Amino acid sequence: MQAVADFWQAVPDALRDPVALAAPFFLLFIAIEALAAHLLEDERPEDERRTPDGRAAPLRGGYDRSDALASIGAGAVSILTMTLWKGLGLIGYAVLFAYVAPWQLPVDRWWTWAIALLGVDFFFYWAHRTAHRVRLVWATHQAHHSSEYFNFSTALRQKWNNSHELVIWAPLPLLGVPPALVFLGFSVSLVYQFFVHTERVGKLWRPVELVLNTPSHHRVHHGSDPEYLDRNYGGILIVWDRLFGSFQEELHRPTYGLTTPVGTNNLIRLQTHEYVAIARDVRGAPTLRDKLGYVLGPPGWRPEPEGRAVVPPLPAP
């Protein structure tokens, strides 16, 4: 134990990830929710027991063992990869904070913490929105949406490549927010978002639903139904979606998963299959413009034979 304590003391404060400290509690909540799903009777009408294509529909709030284990495995690896990405980011942020920022906010003031948390949440919204509208970035994020179940274990199905988030958060240390608080803010956001991945909580008190991201709002985000695609990007606050036109109320139980299911729980394939698809499309594209479209266009982008691109439209607000 002393060796562990000595190691922990040697880790820079900015890399002491609260998400890793919360992991045992995540597993406890997953176990409780899975037990509840096992004990509670499925009261769905017969016509809700199958998906439109005839497959058995996942139980509301239910668990599939292979699916849950894949999500937990992805989360365990993400703790390691996130630490590595944060180590790289810390170097760049420290340079911006120490040598470029016009001022340095004091780390021991409550308002600096408030600015950091609000700033991280604001930039998380834009990082998340970018991840859904730029295919190369979507390749890093799509694994999180690959589960056809929506429960606490789904929250752990995290990306292994956080590079674009580090770029989008860069204005915070540039404006004098201490780098350690940037990373702390993101960890707080991730811990909060764990608890919105559940079907066991309905809609909350209206003022709460108005301001905060809730299970109802986040269920919409994970839906593959046309009316739910590319909606509700918020992390802690849902006000960004309301302000920037990406909010959608929950109208019915979503169909979870990708619009084109990946059909595997293999951890490596879950994280890499979209990169492989991008490489295949780029290799077969006849022009540079088409190649760039496959990389930087939104997921589903396709050129028409005449050269006019087919771009999936955003759903109407």
Structural domain boundaries of the chain? 13-36+58-259, 268-310
The whole-angstrom separation of Cα 223 and Cα 242 is 18
Mean per-residue pLDDT pooled into runs of 10, the chain (317 residues): 45 58 90 88 64 69 92 94 89 94 94 96 97 97 96 96 93 95 93 96 96 98 96 98 98 94 94 96 94 95 70 57
In 3D space, the residue among 240, 241, 126, 120 whose CA is nearest the CA of residue 181 turns out to be 120
Radius of gyration (C-alpha) of the chain in whole angstroms: 20
Per-residue model confidence (pLDDT) at position 83:
86
Alpha helices in the chain (DSSP H): 2-10, 18-39, 65-95, 110-133, 135-141, 152-155, 163-169, 171-174, 179-194, 206-211, 215-221, 239-244, 267-284, 288-296
Structure confidence at residue 4 (pLDDT): 40
The pTM for the full model equals 0.87
Cα(179)–Cα(96) distance, integer angstroms: 9
Contacts of 175 (CB under 8 A, 6+ apart): 101, 119
- Give the model's pLDDT for residue 22: 85
Burial label, 76 (beta-carbon count in 10 A; 0-12, 13-18, 19+): middle
Tokens of 223: 């839906």
* AA identity, residue 105: L
